[in-house]
Amino acid sequence: MADIISIATSSPAFAHKQEAILQYMQKAYQLGAEEKRKLAFLYHHSGIEKRHSVIPDFGNKVTDLNFLPQDATDPFPSIDERMELYKSKASTISIEAIKKCIDKHINAAQITHLITISCTGMSAPGLDLEIMEEMNLSPALFRTSINFMGCYAAIHGLKLAKFICDSEPDAQVVIVAIELCTLHFQKEYTIENVSSSLLFADGAAAVLISNTLTSPKALKIESFYSQVAFEGKKDMAWEMSSKGFLMTLSSYIPQLIKKDIELLVVAALKQKGITHAEIAYWCIHPGGKKIVDVIEQKLSLTGEQTKFARKVLAENGNMSSPTILFVLKEIMDSSIQSAEKIFGIAFGPGLTMETFLCKKI
C-alpha cells in the first residue's frame, strides 16, 4: 500500500502569454509574412494561453533580451551556459514545491526518501544533493534520480515510490519533478524547433507518498501498466548536443497515440479487473491539444472528463515530467468522492506509454 498525501506545484516568476511568445518567435525566426501567418495559426489553435519560464526574454521586446541574443546572427547560449542557468534555478523552484507539499504533514527532517526527476538539466553532484543540503535533510537520506525519461517520468517516480513504501512501511517519500524546457530554445526554423517552442514550458511539482500519514485529499495508488510502441521511437526523441538539448516531436505522434491508446487502456483495466465505466476521472498528460483531442475521441470521453488536462495545458503549456502531476493535483482539489477511481496516462520517448490507477480514500 502507498498513499499520495499531497501534491504541490511551483512555477518560475516569468509568465508569458502565448500571444507574446508568438510575437517573439516571429522575430527570432526572422519570418516573412506568409510564415508569420502560418505560425500564428498554430499558436492560436494550441489550446495554450500562457507559459512560465525562468527566462524573461520570451515576453520582452527583442531589444530587451537577457539570456538570448538580440540578433539572431549572434551565437546562442552554449550548453555550458544553459546548464549553468539550470543549476542556478532548478533547486530553488524544486524546494519551493517540496516545502508546500510537506507543509502541515511532516517536517523536512522526517523525509526518508527523495526521488528527483528531470530531463532538462543534469550535473554531479546534482539536484538531489543540492536539495538535500539546502533543506538540511537527513544525511542518511535515501536518494535516487530519474533522468531523461521525458513526459512520462513522474509516473515512473510514483511507481518507484510505491515499491519503496511496500517494502518500508515507515517510509516518507518525496518526489520532485522539475523541468526548465525553455532553456533549450533553438534558433533554427525547423518543424521540431517550432513544435517545441510552441508547447514547452518550465515548472515543478512535488508529491508526498506515505503508508502512515493521512489527509482529506489522499489517494491510494493501486496499479501501473505500461507499453512501448517502437514504431514511434523516431517520432519523439530528446538528445544532447553542443547547442543544448534537441527535441524531435513529430506531427505523427497524435496518430500513433490514436492507434494504440484504446488497446493500452483495455489492457491496463483488464489487469485490475475493472471496466471503463468505473473510472470517474481521467488524468491525461496534455502533451498538446491534438493529443487530448484524440484521446477524448478514442476513449469516448466528454469535455467534462478532459477538462483538467485542458486547464493545465491552457495555464501552463507542456512542462514535460511535472505536467501529469499538475493535472492530478487539479483532480485532488476537485469534488472527487471517496472510492472514486482515477486513471492516469502519459507519453514519452520510445514511444513509451505509462498509466496508473488510484482511488480516493
pLDDT tens across 72-126, in order? 677 788 899 999 999 999 999 999 999 999 999 999 999 999 999 999 998 888 9
Backbone angles phi, psi at 195, to 5 degrees: -60, -45
What is this structure's pTM?
0.95
Distance, CA of 143 to CA of 116 (rounded, Å)? 8
Topology at the third CATH level for domain 219-360:
Peroxisomal Thiolase; Chain A, domain 1 (3.40.47)
Distance, CA of 186 to CA of 194 (rounded, Å)? 9
Return the pLDDT at 17: 96
Return the pLDDT at 109: 97
Mapping DSSP to helix (H, G, I), strand (E, B) and coil, where does residue 296 land?
helix
CA dist list (Å): 206 to 38, 98, 101, 158, 325: 37, 5, 6, 11, 8
Distance, CA of 163 to CA of 170 (rounded, Å)? 13
Q: Are strands 236-241 and 219-228 parallel, antiparallel or unpaired?
A: unpaired
pLDDT over 60 at 321, yes or no:
yes
State pLDDT tens for residues 14-57.
999 999 999 988 888 889 999 999 999 999 999 999 999 999 88
Please compute the mean of the pLDDT values over residues 301-319 and round it to a whole number: 97
Reported confidence tier of residue 267, pLDDT bands at 50, 70, 90: very high
Bridge partner list, 355: 225, 345
Beta strands, E only, the chain: 3-10, 14-17, 50-53, 113-118, 142-147, 172-180, 202-210, 219-228, 236-241, 244-249, 279-284, 341-348, 352-360
State pLDDT tens for residues 178-231.
999 999 988 888 888 888 899 999 999 999 999 999 999 999 999 999 988 887
The residue ranking higher by pLDDT, 110 or 259, is: 110
Q: Where are the domains of the chain?
A: 219-360
Backbone angles phi, psi at 105, to 5 degrees: -115, -55
Residue type, 209: I
Mapping DSSP to helix (H, G, I), strand (E, B) and coil, where does residue 64 land?
helix
